[in-house]
Amino acid sequence: MADANPFVDPLRFARRVPPCAVVIFGANGDLTMRKLMPALYRIHYEGRMPASFAVIGTSRTAMTDEAFRAKMRASVEKFLEDSPFERDVWESFEPNLFYEAGDVADAGFYARLAARLAVAEGSSGTAGNVLFYLSTQPSHYATVVRGIGEARLAEGAGWRRLVVEKPFGHDLDSARKLDDAIHEVFPEASVYRIDHYLGKETVQNILAFRFGNGIFEPLWNRRYVNYVQITAAESIGVEGRGSYYQETGALRDMIQNHLLQVMATVGMEPSNIFEAGAVRDERAKFLRSVRPIKTSDVDKYAVAGQYGPSRAGGVETPGFREEPGVDAETQTDTYAAVTFYVDNWRWAGVPFYVRTGKRLPKRVTDIAIQFNSAPHSLFAVGGEDGRASARPNLLIMRIQPEEGISLRFMSKYPGSGMKLRPVSMDFSYGSSFGTRTPTAYETLLVDALSGDATLYTRQDMVEASWRAVGPILDVWSGRRFDFPNYSAGTWGPAESDDMLARNGHFWRIP
């Protein structure tokens, strides 16, 4: 809440980070190199890091502070998005980086960490504020939290917070157990469960679009909306993460968390104020209204896919089963599509179609809201060539890439007579604002460090999401699919089109 905490700026402009230490567990991993370190560097670049801070990386691999700094420099240079790497800025950032190797099950490791933190408090002036960031293998989360607790690192002079990377559990039961383990050490107010989609500028803009304008909200309900489609397509495969992904699958990796959160952003009620408790209450309420599919109906409302090899355009792409670390017989979904229904007054009867997949034709994430057709057709339809057909209004919110919003409507084709053709009204972030968009991790790190959990998920949301996908996971885990059922580079299995066709709908090609 925007209360006595001077670091919470309700409008989020120029929010600054207070003196603190950040301890990253799993600092030798992909996420630290690709996302966390570039984000911290960028926050520093903008002058939003405090004069006093320390980032302590940890992992099992032995490394000196110097080696860690060199490694982080290389990854920041490589993965910094849309912004320059500047040597002098790096040189003022680098002395704040430290490294401590250790085994997460070893009490001695936490004692060494405590000593590091004490030094940082003295020499870096971190005021005892510590953010612990869990980015290890998820199976280590509970062990790390216990280690922090036993070494009494969760208490001290300043604030102590814990950021937990997804996946938050593997199902409802394991999510609850993990939550219990965390609450043994950290109170709920100090726990930040990250879902980086909520930090994406364009996902935040859904709220601005809906609740910062007067004309859309009156139409945003079952009376005017015919259906909603959410697509998160990736052209990449599993990129060296075969063994992790094999245990996860598309439904768990993307739908249970990111896409249900996006769906909640599209469907939730407005909160009365923009404050963590109020906004998260509304998201949670929406997620609790998502109807869990009966196991006997899973085949009607959910489709699993797995990509096979392709030779399109003379390029050989391996199938999922040929990827390193993946079983030759694996039953893991690399594509998932689900029809959700939301049991509340606003959305009763409106299908929310959600799909995601690896090795689809392109990388695109968008939301399409299809409105009902005009009740009566007065005009002939067709452009110059007479081929276009009457199309209902469609609002598209593009999350990435080419971030923007467009609205399709029918327009008169120039000339005598009244012929109509669909046209579109477009807003593009790039051309409207001409300013750099912060990455999701920049936004979310600054928020956690300044004590704002609005864009973080809460345990009740996590549980509601597991409840929504649980029956599908149960049915799929006991099944032998006829995989692969789509070729790399195509839009997924035919059953997914059939699922929509049964309602007289079809997937847009984004």
Query: Which residues are at the interface with ligand BG6 (CB under 6 A)?
Result: 234, 253, 365
List the beta bridge partners of residue 411. 421
From residue 48, alpha-carbon distances to 3, 126, 261 in Å are 20, 15, 28
Q: Which residue is nearest to ligand BG6 (CB)?
A: 253
Helix axes 172-183, 459-477, angle to 10 degrees: 150
DSSP 462-477: HHHHHHHHHHHHHHHH
Q: How far is the CB of 27 from ligand BG6 (least distance, A)?
A: 18
Residue (166 or 408) nearer to ligand BG6, CB: 166
Residue (112 or 241) nearer to ligand BG6, CB: 241
Residue (153 or 203) nearer to ligand BG6, CB: 203
Q: Are 398 and 364 in contact (CB under 8 A)?
A: yes
Q: How far is the CB of 241 from ligand BG6 (least distance, A)?
A: 7
44 among known catalytic residues: no
List the beta bridge partners of residue 131. 22, 161
Q: How far is the CB of 258 from ligand BG6 (least distance, A)?
A: 6
Pairing of strands 394-400, 364-371: antiparallel
Chain mean position to CA 196: 4
Residue (69 or 258) nearer to ligand BG6, CB: 258
Residue (20 or 445) nearer to ligand BG6, CB: 445
Residues 303, 308, 313: CA angle, nearest 5 degrees:
120
Residue (113 or 462) nearer to ligand BG6, CB: 462
From residue 172, alpha-carbon distances to 355, 469, 473 in Å are 21, 10, 11
Q: Are 38 and 75 in contact (CB under 8 A)?
A: yes
- Can you tell me which residue has the tokens 């680098």? 94
Q: How far is the CB of 419 from ligand BG6 (least distance, A)?
A: 40
CA distance linking residue 22 with residue 481, whole number of Å? 44
Residue (31 or 278) nearer to ligand BG6, CB: 31
Residues 340, 341, 346: CA angle, nearest 5 degrees:
135
Q: Where does residue 197 fall: left (phi above 0), alpha (psi -120 to 50 degrees), or beta otherwise?
A: alpha
Provide the H-helix boundaries in 137-187.
141-150, 172-183
Among 44, 140, 258, 376, which one carries the catalytic annotation? 258
Of residues 94, 113, 92, 93, the one with CA closest to residue 102: 113
Q: How far is the CB of 216 from ligand BG6 (least distance, A)?
A: 25
Give, as one character, the DSSP assignment of residue 16. Answer: -
Query: Which amino acids are annotated catalytic?
Result: 258
